[in-house]
Structures are given as structure tokens and as C-alpha cells.
Amino acid sequence: MKPGELDFEKKSSYSLKIEVTNTHVDSQFEALGPFADTATVKLVVEDVDEPPEFSSLLYKMSVSEAARVGTAIGTVSAHDPDKANNPVRYSIDRNTDLERYFNIDANTGVITIAKPLDRETNEEHNITVLAMESQNPAQVGRGSVHISLVDVNDNVPEFPMEYETFVCENTNHGKIIQKISAVDRDKPLSGHHFYFSLAPGAGNNLNFTVQDNRDNTAVILTKRAGFSRHEQAVYFLPIVIVDNGVPALSSTNTLTVRVCSCDDEGVAHSCNAEAFALPAGLSTGALIAILACVLTLLVLVLFIVTLRRRKKESLVFDEEKDIRENIVRYDDEGGGEEDTEAFDMAALRNLNFIQDVKTRRDVTPEIQLFSKPPHKMSPENIIFGEFIWERMKSADTDPSAPPYDSLQTYAFEGNGSVAESLSSLESISSASDQNYDYLTDWGPRFKKLADMYGSPKDSANS
């Protein structure tokens, strides 16, 4: 217990003796002394429900990465510090174990493996264990557990990169053409140590050999001179790499060797009709970077040229693109007398045409006055008045008319013409019933029409 802290479980009460003294006593009252007194004070500590406490602030555990699911790793322990000493239940804070690699027994606190482990993926795990009182789950204690995985040799060694190896046509015997190394995802306690050799099937080849440097590297040497890319352009060399794990693991990696034409300094010029052109020692990655930069510059130049052309085109006035005035031309000949779609022929009707009266659905007036005007009209205006009045009633009772005032256009030819109505709507269907005898009275100019449409008798007389 820290100074100043009270613990009911360790000591529930305290007895204190308190003394008070007057340090400034008047000399004339010294005979009345002593000027001091004492009192006893008893302090009682009340019990407070506290969360469970772990026996250790940090638990360190280790387990092999090859351990099976269900293997016990270790045990945590916590207790209720209160006098009641209620039982404690354990659980794992899943925010610290999102992949759910571990489980814990709620009663005993034993931690076990819930999923296969891999040290190469996650070498260490830090989880938080919760301890809750069975009688009061609100009281929660927290403990930290650090789990480290012990490495197992379960990864094979391999090349750290894809080597670009070539041999010159004019190379000599025993020439080093490539230096190789290896990597391994495992982490043995004694460190890595790799062994290099040719695969059993390629050990007797007459072209190349492998020399192990005993420092985790090896070199590829030529076993002869006088290579020709026209005879064989590419060689595939299988190399076996073995590690020092227990048990030891090995892998076979293929090294591709191209035959190239080189200069006297051993710089390749062309390989298999592919131009290397590496006089400055540039790698393939550097060439790709240079080509990418060149393409980027070309795209920028094309973009700038396109923008300038658009700016120039916007300054030139094009009458065809001028949208301030649009003239729309139509070339419609019409369908003649039988065409009733282009013009409303109903507007051109004879006075004698009788139209059915329809009641409007949107307006139902209380009183509809269809009486004729009281004043007298001249005989020549009666026909037109009646026609307009009929049109007014038709508009008022038309169910398809708008419910507001609108302009009505009427076309009426009257009935004073000798030829009667010019509308084809009033024409008699049979041409034989039509009387055209009046054409003979119009003079010699209409003689041809009288012969064509008049009666045979009239035509004979004429």
C-alpha cells in the first residue's frame, strides 16, 4: 500500500492520539499550567468494491509457430481484493486480438491457440486479458500478456531477385558471369547459412559450374570458351540452395543465361536479336524509367498544342456556329383536298351544318344564357350573326376547350355564292346528282366546263 492510501482489507480501523499545546504562555499564568491536553481519535475505514487484481502486471509467454490449435500457452491469475473474495471470470479483449488467434478459459485463465500461427506473418502478439467479478461484472481488471513465437524452419531459401545473366560469345574459360545469393524468411537462432550447387541433372554439363563462396554467396563460372548465340541463344541453369535449419530445407532456382555479342571490354551489344545497348551500364529498370519520362513529355506537348489550337479556333467567327439567329425552313407541299391533317377543315363549314352540343366537364355554370341579342340586325348580317352565335355556344360547351378566355378564329364563307359552299365537306358523294346547268349561263369562257359537267341535253343545245 502506498503512503496516504487506505486499504480496508489490510486494516479496517486506526486509533490516533492527538495532543494540543499552547506554545505562547503568559509568564504571569505559568503557575496555572500545564497548558496542554490530549484526545484519542478512532478512524474506521469503510469497505469499497474494487476490481479484480492480477498477480502480475505483465505476463510473458512463448510458443512454437508450429504448435497445433488447442495447445496451452500459459495461465493468468487474478483475484478479488475485497473481503468477499468473489469468483473471477476471464476473457480476451478482442480489440487486441482482431484475428482471434487465442482463447482463454473463463474459469481457469488458461490461454490456448485458436488458429494456426505464423512467425513470418506476425512474430509477436500483445493481448489484454479482462478479469470480471462474477457478482458485479462492472468491476473489471486488466492484465497484459506478451506472446512471442519461436521460429520453425518452414520456409525454403530462394533467389532474392530475378537475375539478368549473360555470357559473351568471346568469353574465356573460367570467366565469372554472375554472383548469386539467397534469402530465407525463417530466422534461426544461429543465423542463416546457405549452400549452393548445381542440380543433380545439370552437374555434368560442359558449359557452366557453380562455386560456393562459403559466405552465403556463390559465383557462376564458364567451363569453356566459344559460345555462339546462333547455335544456342539461351541456357537454363538449375541451382540448388540448401539452408542450415532443422530439418534442412532446399529449393531449386533456375538461372537464365543469354548469349550476347560483346566488345573487348565485355559490354553486351545484342542478345538473341534483342539490342541491349548498355555502353553506360544501364539496367533494364533504368531504361524503362527513361522511356516512361519520354512518353510523359510527349503527352504534355500534345496537350499544350491541343489547347493552343482550341484558343485560336475560339477567336475566329464562324457564321455557321452563330446561334444568335436560327432560321428554320420547311418544304411541305400538302396533301390536297384529301389532306385533313395539316388544316382544321372543321373551321370551314357551311351555315347549314348542325353540330352536336357537348357539355363541358371542367366548368358547370349555374345559368347559361344562349338567347340571341335583342337588337335587330340587317338581313345581310343575320347569317354571320347566327354563325358566330353558334360558334360561341360551341366553344362554351366544348369539353376540350381551356377553362380560361381564349381567342377563337372562325372561317365562314357565307351563302351568297351561286356555287354554294366551296368546302368539300358539303359535297355530294355522287357526281351524277350534281347540277351544273348554270355553267351555260356564264358565257363562252365556261363552255368547256359546261360540256364536261353539264347535262347531255344542255351540251347538245350549246
Q: Which of 9-13, 258-262, 330-334 has the lowest mean pLDDT?
A: 330-334
pLDDT higher than 50, residue 409: yes
pLDDT number for residue 433: 55
DSSP code per residue over 146-198: EEEEEP---S--B-SS---EEEETTPPTT-EEEEEE-B-S---TT----EEEE
**Cα 358 versus chain centre, distance:** 62
- Nearest to residue 269, comparing CAs of 278, 280, 259, 257? 278
- Residue 180 CB-density burial (10 A; 0-12 exposed, 13-18 middle, 19+ buried): buried
pLDDT number for residue 198: 93
pLDDT higher than 80, residue 344: no
Q: Which of 175-184, 221-230, 360-369 has the lowest mean pLDDT?
A: 360-369
Q: CATH assignment of 165-284, given 3.30.420.40, 3.20.20.150, 2.60.40.60, 3.30.43.10?
A: 2.60.40.60
- Nearest to residue 106, comparing CAs of 133, 139, 144, 135? 133
Give pLDDT tens digits for 117-133. Answer: 999 999 999 999 999 99
pLDDT number for residue 269: 82
- Nearest to residue 191, comparing CAs of 154, 151, 158? 151
C-alpha grid cell, residue 244? 542450415
SS3 100: coil
What's 350-386 look like in SS3? CCCCCCCCCCCCCCCCCCCCCCCCCCCCCHHHHHHHH
Give pLDDT tens digits for 202-214. Answer: 878 889 999 999 9
Contact 201, 240 (CB under 8 A): no
Report strand pairing: 176-181 vs 217-222: antiparallel
Can you give the residue ranges of every domain in the chain?
1-48, 53-150, 165-284, 341-427, 428-461
Q: What is the DSSP letter of 319?
A: G
Edge-first strand listing for the sheet containing 176-181: 176-181, 217-222, 208-212
Q: Which of 39-48, 89-98, 366-375 has the lowest mean pLDDT?
A: 366-375
What's 193-230 look like in SS3? CCEEEECHHHCCCCCEEEEECCCCEEEEEECCCCCCCC
Do 53-150 and 165-284 show the same overall fold? yes
Q: Which of 13-17, 170-174, 337-341, 377-381 has the lowest mean pLDDT?
A: 337-341
Longest dimension (CA), the chain: 184
pLDDT higher than 50, residue 368: no
- Nearest to residue 228, comparing CAs of 206, 207, 249, 259? 259
Q: Which residue has the higher pLDDT, 1 or 198?
A: 198
Superfamily of domain 53-150: Cadherins (2.60.40.60)
